[in-house]
């Protein structure tokens, strides 16, 4: 089979940008080829051009290609300062008259929302809370909904949380662990494309969108940021990745500390 050429890479980049606002740089040629090669083999196709033509006709295969080309690197309690801020600064001050709602807006295989769930369960006790976990990739959402992970994925989970909220697998699940069903009942998964108008999902006290904006150009970042702010409650928080910034995006939030922003007129009071 011929290796992927520049024109084919550009076509895949156009597909990803239209679907998810993600641009594939020329340096991603090997990544695109490596992730899609098995699909070409499985379908008996001799070229990436043939596969691209098939994507125009087959919506299911197009979604599969998007799933394969979406980066889903994650782990439990990634960027732990965010979880400390949630536990120590946000949760002690919440409005107890309503459920505390969090949106993990690029949840990948579920490690982020389940990490949030452990913190909420510990800090809020019997007070109501819920998490919406979404991703554009249906493949990782299916994995996340199971709540089952290889035991080595537990490496970054603090031991008290591991003991309280994780169950060691036995029998067919030996070498794995699962998230406590009590936490999973509070966590709802849904396929959402941040590059289009959002569905009716209500308002949130906190939105996590971490390590995703780096794949967007400035215009897409502005559009995504505007959509997120629309669903933030007054004084709600937005967490982005530590390597990301909302500077220059005209997003109506105020930085509390690097990678943590707050909506509303009282945003500056958060760091006092």
Helix (H, G, I), strand (E, B) or coil at 239: strand
Q: Is 219 a catalytic residue?
A: no
CATH code: domain 6-69 is: 1.10.155.10
Q: Is 180 a catalytic residue?
A: no
Kindly list the domain boundaries of the chain, sorted by start residue.
6-69, 80-147+181-271
Out of 101, 135, 205, 210, pick the active-site residue. Answer: 135
CATH class of 80-147+181-271: alpha beta
Residue 107 has pLDDT above 90, yes or no: yes
pLDDT in tens, 182-212: 999 999 999 999 989 999 999 999 999 998 8
Q: pTM score, two decimals?
A: 0.83
Task: Return the percentage of the chain with pLDDT > 90, whole number.
Answer: 61
Query: Element (H or E) spanning 174, and its range?
Result: none
What residues contact residue 252 under an 8 Å CB cut-off, 6+ apart? 229, 263
| Sign of the dihedral through C-alpha 153, 156, 161, 163 | positive
Measured in whole angstroms, the distance separating CA 268 from the mean position of its chain's CA atoms is: 27
Q: Is the separation of the CB atoms in 119 and 208 below 8 Å?
A: no
Out of 35, 64, 127, 153, pick the active-site residue. Answer: 35
Query: Which pLDDT does position 91 carry in this prediction?
Result: 97
């Amino acid at each position: 089979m011929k290796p992927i050429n520049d024109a084919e890479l550009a076509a895949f980049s156009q597909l990803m940008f239209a679907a998810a606002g993600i641009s594939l740089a020329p340096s991603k040629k090997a990544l695109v080829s490596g992730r899609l090669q098995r699909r070409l083999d499985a379908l008996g196709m001799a070229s990436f051009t043939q596969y691209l033509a098939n994507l125009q006709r087959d919506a299911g295969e197009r979604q599969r290609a998007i799933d394969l080309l979406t980066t889903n690197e994650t782990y439990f309690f990634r960027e732990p300062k965010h979880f400390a801020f949630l536990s120590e600064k946000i949760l002690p001050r919440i409005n107890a008259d309503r459920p505390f709602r969090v949106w993990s807006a690029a949840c990948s295989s579920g490690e982020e929302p389940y990490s949030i769930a452990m913190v909420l369960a510990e800090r809020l006790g019997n007070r109501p809370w819920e998490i919406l976990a979404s991703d554009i990739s249906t493949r990782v959402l299916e994995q996340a909904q199971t709540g089952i992970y290889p035991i080595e994925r537990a490496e970054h989970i603090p031991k008290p949380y591991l003991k309280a909220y994780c169950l060691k697998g036995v029998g067919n699940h030996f070498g794995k662990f699962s998230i406590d069903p009590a936490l999973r009942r509070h966590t709802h998964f849904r396929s959402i494309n941040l590059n289009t108008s959002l569905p009716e999902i209500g308002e949130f006290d906190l939105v996590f969108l971490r390590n995703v904006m780096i794949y967007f150009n400035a215009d897409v970042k502005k559009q995504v940021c505007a959509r997120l702010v629309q669903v933030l409650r007054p004084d709600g928080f937005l967490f982005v990745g530590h390597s990301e910034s909302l500077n220059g995006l005209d997003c109506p939030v105020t930085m509390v500390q690097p990678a943590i922003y707050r909506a509303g007129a009282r945003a500056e009071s958060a760091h006092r």
